[in-house]
Structure 1
Amino acid sequence: MLAPTLLLIPFLCGTQAAANNWEVACKGECSYDLPDSAVSGTLKIFGASSAVSDITPAGGWTILDCDTDSLAQSVRLACQTSACEHLFEGQGAIDTVVRLPETCGASPFARVAGIQVDPDQTLPSDVAATITTIGNLTSMVFLLSIDTDFAAADSTKTGPISFSLEGYNFPTTTDAGNSTTRRGLKVRDNITAFNDTNSVSLPVLSIDQTFPLFSASVDCTDFSASVSASFETKIDATVSIGLIAAGTVIPPEISEFAVFGGLDASVLATLGLTASATGSISTGKISLYTYSLAGINFPGIFTLGPAFTIYGEIDADLSAVVDLSVDLAYTLNTTAYLPSSAAPSNSGSTPADSTLVVSAVPTATLNATVTPILTPELSLGLTALGIIDATVALDIPGSLSVALNVDGNGSATGTVGTGSSGSGSASGSIDACIDIGAAVGVNLEASGSLSLLGLSATETYPLYTNSWDLYNKCASANGSTRRAAERRTTGISCPTSSSVTSLEQIIDEIISAF
């Protein structure tokens, strides 16, 4: 099991600690904390004194009718105290950004698109009993049209209304004594910089499941031949994500942006291949598993929705009947940032013990090349202010290259797998060669409307690659051998048959030499 305590995560220290105060009315600036205890995030809105207001009880309002789940709607509300008059100051209520109560609307903030006095001035008796008579508007009922179409606002009247936000898929705590480290990220006064937290504990996503990759059969004379392949996966993964951004909501502009995704995983994927037919197969990339993770959600303003997906594929050329089981096993520790200048990306993988088991039909010749690929992916769907709709994905393709060549007549060759350093060779007559290589890469891919972030429509950043030779060995019937693999265990079996003594001897030689 992968240890859930992972790494030092960078985070931002905001200029204020208690961001979400429902007792104080928003006048010119306001902050909102995400209510989910499993994540952390703060959004701050600020501008001219009259440009940011409040329709909560602290702002002098009582909500009479509001849809909890809508971004755009008409809200019926009553002025409860004279504090409500702040909404109409300066440029007036239209295009003012207002804080909403938790039970009103899907977003913590909205734009006032329109306002009118409700023809129905009826108040519930319990509400009427709490309303004071001091003020020009108290006890009046209004219909307020709200939305998150900030691009429709007239910024010449409101002036620029700015925002800053930070969010993570884990709880954070700040240490006021920490010094700030810029790490290449441009910052504003309202965004301090990246700091280091203590190690955080993240939930472990455990997957123990077998996924089919390919299955096909063909009718032959007097029998049916088939090929089937599957991945048996055991994966423990922890995912960390974070987002910081700054700019203006009116007009919608993003001046600073950085997102990071971290993935720690232990991966064991066992490829099972059973073939009684010859030929070539190529599955292409197949989605095997998807799991949606807790995201950072300020609806209508910024949303970062992560998902963990496993893809699998296989390419194989088969000229013999064979059953094969081989492991792709490694550990991974990677963190990536976008833009890449925001902070250094770090990646790493380490091969783990792998086991190969082969059973060959008793013939004097066996030739097969098999390339399975397993790709865990962390994808982040990002929408922002109606001007960004993009996906950032951290892809970690892990692959094997398996070559099996056996010739009972003593004229076989070995093919080097991914990451090997040389081709198969041996002195004397070569009767069998087995070659297995593995590779792991880490790529950061971004696609969608990213021009506002200084990126083209599609960007791919290769962050890391590593390859290693799992097993590379040739043997002959007279005992000549070549190098064996390090840190690997290999078992090879063949059905017993008196007609294939020479093949059994070759395989026994390989086992003995290893």
Structure 2
Amino acid sequence: MVFSPLLVAALLPIAAQAANDWSKPCFGECNWDITNGSGSGTVRLVGSQTGVSDLTTAAGWTILDCDPNTADQDIRLVCHDPAMGCDHLNQNGAAGTLVRLPTSCGSMPFAVVTREWVHEDQSIPASKLVRRDGSQPTVKGISLATDFAAVDPNVNGNVTLFVQGSSIPGVAGNFTVTPPTDGAVAKRGLFSWIGSTLKNLSEVHKNITGSAPLNFEKDVPLFDQSFSCPQNGAVPAFDGEAKVDLKGKVDGTVNYGVAAAGSIIPPKLDEFGLFVGLDATVTGTLGLDATLTGSISSGKIPLFETGIPGLDFPKILSIGPTFSVNAEATASLDANLNVDVDLAYTIAGAQLFFPPNDKPAGSFTPNDSNLKLSVSPNITSHGQIAAHLIPSLAFGIDVLSGAAKATINLDVDASAAVDLSLTAVAEAGISKDGSKSTDASFGGCVDVTTGLAVTAGADASLLSLFDKSTSVDLFNKTFDLFKKCFGSNPARRAYTGRAERAALMAKRASVGCPSGLLGKVASVVEEAIPAAKIV
């Protein structure tokens, strides 16, 4: 996918310096830097000379009364130095002009003037302003509002909006937004900068510390059902159980960057892009013990959720990320079965974009694993077991005070599956009490796979940029952990294939008591599998 020129412009790097220069008035265009402890970024507004102005000391203004925690309010102020440009505010009348505010005034960096008058309170505290000649300027009153949708763009024209941000504090000085002065000309020139711009953004994040930690570790029972099975012919009564456990662990870090372009007057988002940098190890062990037969489906089970430091450009763009972990298990059983299989992956230097580019950077590799499989050898068995450990990142997005909302989800689905088709070879090897004898043997095939799928998608439309049907596989691969056929030729031929066994097992609605003696388990395979052998 080709990224838009406006988005590319919003990410262009320059030398480390703040975009917002408090020593210069912003007439016609303004910058504002976000430098809180959880992130950094820059907002840039560009409009007409009558559409964008300044109420800071750089433009000659001194604000006397203003609540720093309120967005919409009436304030008192004076022009302490007309030579610095106070009159700029009134070029086309103050009403309808978007203004930059000092950090001590208002809860957001920009507001629109709705009314201006000579204030009835003409007092000026000495701590605020004392002129050498003893004269006193006129105290003005100004009403400020942040309902940008209520502003008529026909009065002073549109005000273009550019936003860039990073979850890493201090990054704002390493890139800036440079708005195009002519849309058609800029579009032709910016397309050639796309590759180098995105590469530079990823390099900035790669070389700066400050990523948010992702940590999770828990032993989770995904399914546990037990009941007493009555005597069935020669099969004595017994207490049966089907139990699935998952020991899961996630260790990693995440950072992200965002860029958006559109207009604040009228509120409209034209371009949006999200960058995510991810490093993580995902490990787990699927454990299954079953003396019942049938099918198991745990459904998706939420295990953990926590917030990640967000990024907030007040009433312009807010991003609130969360980290969560889910798990799921399914199984189809018709034998006494014990399974332990590891899922283990490393995600290193992953760099993912949404909407996506052609391919994500980074490596997605399996690690060393262990496999233990034991099954009762006296019966023919067709079984399937699968488990999923799914760490997820969700980025909640609010644009222009709710003009558009969406959540972008990034799911990392680590899975392990056992596909088993075994045929009894030596019935004589099983004693009456169901214990195995030394000559018990198996025939058939065992196929153990692990998989890793990284998927990005949205759960709601974000204007015309993408909709809730937008979903893409950023990485999807299945690895063969262990695959082996053994025993007699008839037993090998009994390996019917996944489709046939899936159809057979689909007929089972739930777990229940077996119809015959399952026998005690005998080991089929126990093997430590190095990552080098996993393909």
TM-score range normalised by the length of the shorter chain: 0.7 to 0.9
SS at match of 2:155: helix
Instruction: State the secondary structure of the residue aligned to 2:220.
Output: strand
RMSD over aligned Cα atoms: 3.9
Q: State the distance in 2 between where 1:27 and 1:406 align.
A: 79
Equivalent AA in structure 2 for residue 438 of structure 1: T
Q: 1:445 aligns with which of 433, 457, 472?
A: 457
Aligned twin of 2:434: none
For residues 181-192 of structure 1, the aligned pairs below 5 Å read none
Whole-angstrom distance in 2 between the partners of 1:245 and 1:273:
48
* Alpha-carbon contact 2:29-2:44 (below 8 Å) kept: yes
Shift of 1:369: 2.0
Q: TM-score, normalised by structure 2?
A: 0.72
Q: Is the 8 A contact 2:377 2:424 kept in 1?
A: no
Partner residue, 2:448: 436
Which range moves more in the overlay, 288-297 or 306-315?
288-297
The residue correspondences of 1:373-392 to structure 2 (distance < 5 A) are 373-385=388-400, 386-392=402-408
- Secondary structure at the counterpart of residue 42 of structure 1: strand
Q: 1:238 to 1:511 in 2, by over 3 A?
A: closer
Report the counterpart of residue 289 of structure 1 in structure 2: 304
Which position in structure 2 is the counterpart of 1:249? 264
* Residue 232 of structure 1: aligned partner: 247
Aligned to 1:92: 93
Q: Mapping of 1:80-479 within 5 angstroms? A: 80-83=79-82, 85-86=86-87, 88-115=89-116, 118-124=119-125, 126-127=127-128, 129=130, 138-147=137-146, 149-170=147-168, 171-172=170-171, 174=174, 194=197, 196=200, 197=203, 199-202=206-209, 203=211, 205-220=213-228, 225-333=240-348, 334-340=350-356, 344-346=359-361, 348-358=363-373, 368-385=383-400, 386-410=402-426, 430-431=442-443, 433-453=445-465, 455-476=466-487
Alpha carbons of structure 1 residues 130 and 224: separation in structure 2 relative to 1, 3 Å: farther
Aligned residue type for 1:49: Q
User: 1: CA distance between counterparts of 2:277 and 2:108?
Assistant: 27
**Rounded Cα–Cα distance in structure 2 between residues aligned with 1:215 and 1:501:** 23
Deviation at 1:402, TM superposition (A): 1.2
Q: Assess, with a 3 A threshold, how the Cα gap between structure 1 residues 312 and 103 changes in structure 2: closer, same or farther.
A: farther
1:95–1:113 Cα contact (<8 Å) kept: yes
What is the CA distance between 1:63 and its match in structure 2? 4.6
Larger % of helix: which? 2
Sequence identity percentage: 30
How far off its partner does 1:302 sit? 1.6
Tell me, yes or no, if the aligned pair for 1:131 and 1:139 is still in contact at 8 Å: no
CA contact (8 A) 1:227 1:276 kept: yes
Report if aligned partners of 1:266, 1:331 keep a CA contact under 8 Å in 2.
Answer: yes
Q: Is the 8 A contact 1:218 1:225 kept in 2?
A: yes
Matched, 1:42 2:50: no
| Structure 2: gaps (5+ residues) | 1-9, 177-185, 230-236, 428-440, 494-516, 530-535
Matched letter for residue 450 of structure 1? L
Check conservation: 1:133, 1:139, Cα contact below 8 A.
no
- The CA deviation at 1:78 is 2.2
* Aligned-partner SS, 1:50: coil
> Take 2:26 and 2:478, find their aligned partners in 1: how far apart are those partners?
56
Q: Is the 8 A contact 2:111 2:144 kept in 1?
A: no
Contact kept? 1:288, 1:310, Cα under 8 Å: yes
Deviations 1:418-440 (A, max 9, x none): xxxxxxxxxxx843643211121
Asked if the contact 2:283/2:342 (under 8 Å) is kept, the reply is yes
CA contact (8 A) 1:75 1:143 kept: yes
Give the whole-Å Cα distance in 2 for the aligned partners of 1:325 and 1:98.
Answer: 64
Name whichever of 43-52 and 33-42 sits farther off: 33-42
SS in 2 for 1:18: coil
Residues 477/67 of structure 1: CA separation in 2 closer, same or farther (3 Å cut): same
Q: Could you give the per-residue CA deviations for residues 179-230 of structure 1, whole angstroms, max 9, x where no partner exists?
A: xxxxxx95888x9751524641443625241152524434425876544433
Deviation at 1:390, TM superposition (A): 1.6
* Structure with greater contact order relative to length (CA < 8 Å, sep ≥ 6): 2
Decide whether the 8 Å contact of 1:430 with 1:475 is kept in 2.
yes
Shift of 1:337: 2.2
* CA distance in structure 2 between the partners assigned to 1:244 and 1:285 by the alignment: 33
Please tell me whether the aligned partners of residues 96 and 113 of structure 2 are also in contact (alpha carbons under 8 angstroms): yes
- Provide the rounded CA distance (Å) in 2 between the counterparts of 1:513 and 1:459: 40
TM-score when scaled to structure 1?
0.75
Q: Is this contact kept in 1: 2:330–2:386, CA < 8 A?
A: yes
Report the 3-state secondary structure (helix = DSSP H, G, I; strand = E; otherwise coil) of the residue aligned with 2:92. Answer: coil
Could you tell me which amino acid in structure 2 is paired with residue 158 of structure 1?
N
Cα offset, 1:355, TM superposition: 1.0
Counterpart CA distance in 2 for 1:16 and 1:45 is 20
Per-residue displacement from partner, 1:288-329 (whole Å, max 9, x unpaired)? 222322333211112233322222111112334444322111
Residue in structure 2 matched with residue 422 of structure 1 by the alignment: none
**8 A Cα contact 1:115 1:145, kept in partner:** no
Measure the CA separation in 2 of the matches of 1:150 and 1:513: 63
DSSP-derived class of the 2:464 partner: helix
Residues 500 and 159 of structure 1, relative CA distance in 2, 3 Å threshold? closer
Change (3 A) 1:230 1:95: farther
2-structure distance, mates of 1:15, 1:162: 24
Distance in 2 (alpha carbons) for counterparts of 1:402 and 1:45: 57
Q: CA deviation at 1:256?
A: 3.6
Structure-1 residue corresponding to 2:22 = 22
Letter aligned with residue 12 of structure 1: L
Change (3 A) 1:448 1:14: farther
Distance 1:175 1:66 in 2: 32
Residue range with higher mean Cα deviation, 16-25 or 259-268: 16-25
